[in-house]
Structure 1
Amino acid sequence: MKLFKTISRIAIAASLLIGAAVHAEVAVIVSASNGNGALDQDTISRIFLGKTSNFPDGSQAIPVDQTEGSASREAFNDKVLGKSSSQLKAYWSRLIFTGKGTPPKESGSDADIKALVAKNPNLVGYVDSSAVDGSVKVVYKF
């Protein structure tokens, strides 16, 4: 009976954690000094899929990804890019093979991405919205 209660408690705790991760809000960010205000999903998708290398104001846009497997990256890939991790790997493999593109650089966790983006007005990244502070500007949330 004790084993059953322990397993039940673990299952409840796990479902709460998964539920929290599913409902976490992700923010697409640029440097506070970046001249762009809000960006729409299509513009962000085009930047991260290598279809454009500029922000709407004409300045250079350099996307940075979180580490593969992070919750924010999975949410971003699904909700903004509309692709799974395996679909993105296949997409970038084709572009790399044909010499038509290179995937965004991976730059770590929320804190790593935020620090990089804050220092460079050309970078665009995404973080859990709880990591946002005055050093960066939110241009899209989902």
Structure 2
Amino acid sequence: MKNLTYAKLLASAGALLLSVSVQASVAVIVNPENKSSLQEQQVRKIFLGKSKVFPNGVKSVVADLPAGNEVRAEFLEKVIRKSEPNLNSYWSRMLFSSKGKPPRVLDNAEAVKQWVAANPGAIAYIDSKDVDNTVRVMLTID
């Protein structure tokens, strides 16, 4: 009986370690021409439509990854501090009251990078391993 309990404990510990190692490091990215810097709280406000400009006065345009994406889940948890259902509810209220609309959704990191590189006011996020010289990392969230 003890061996079975010990085996379950080891399996649980292994699953926990595996889930920790799978978590992505999220990079908040902007167009390379955008020299602004933002803190996490400012990024949250932009992604929730509460702020519409960067500190340098450039109008921000936001892109999101699709629901179910693990980088999106990490970003929602650590930066936005909302679950997927809570975020959907938030945007429903914003749309109904005409106070804002959710960010455009792009299919994957490559599409996000191309869009950010083409738009001076763009801000988005991707897995930090997908960053290249077409975008500038404004903030990294581990």
- TM-score bracket, shorter-length normalisation: 0.7 to 0.9
Inter-partner Cα distance in structure 2 for 1:64 and 1:113:
7
- 1:122 and 2:121 equivalent? yes
1:31 maps to which residue? 31
Q: Which string of whole-angstrom CA distances, capped at 9 and with x for unpartnered residues, describes residues 32-56 of structure 1?
A: 11131x3101110110000011001
- CA-atom RMSD, angstroms? 1.8
User: What is the TM-score when the length of structure 2 is the normalising length?
Assistant: 0.84
Q: Give the match's secondary structure for 2:125.
A: strand
Q: Which string of whole-angstrom CA distances, capped at 9 and with x for unpartnered residues, describes residues 54-73 of structure 1?
A: 00111110110001110111
Identity rate, percent:
38
Unaligned residue ranges in structure 2 (runs of 5+): 1-10
Inter-partner Cα distance in structure 2 for 1:104 and 1:17:
31
Shift of 1:19: 3.5
Inter-partner Cα distance in structure 2 for 1:141 and 1:87:
24
2:80 maps to which residue? 81
Inter-partner Cα distance in structure 1 for 2:20 and 2:108:
20
Q: Which string of whole-angstrom CA distances, capped at 9 and with x for unpartnered residues, describes residues 73-131 of structure 1?
A: 11111100111001101111111111111000101111111111011111100000011
2:64 maps to which residue? 65
Q: Which amino acid in the other structure matches residue 46 of structure 1?
A: K
Q: Which string of whole-angstrom CA distances, capped at 9 and with x for unpartnered residues, describes residues 1-57 of structure 1?
A: xxxxxxxxxx89x947633322x2110000111131x31011101100000110011
Q: Which amino acid in the other structure matches residue 20 of structure 2?
A: G
- 1:19 and 2:20 equivalent? yes
Inter-partner Cα distance in structure 1 for 2:63 and 2:103:
5
Q: Is the 8 A contact 1:110 1:127 kept in 2?
A: yes
User: What is the TM-score when the length of structure 1 is the normalising length?
Assistant: 0.84
1:40 maps to which residue? 39
1:131 maps to which residue? 130
Q: How many residues align?
A: 130
Q: Give the match's secondary structure for 2:99.
A: coil
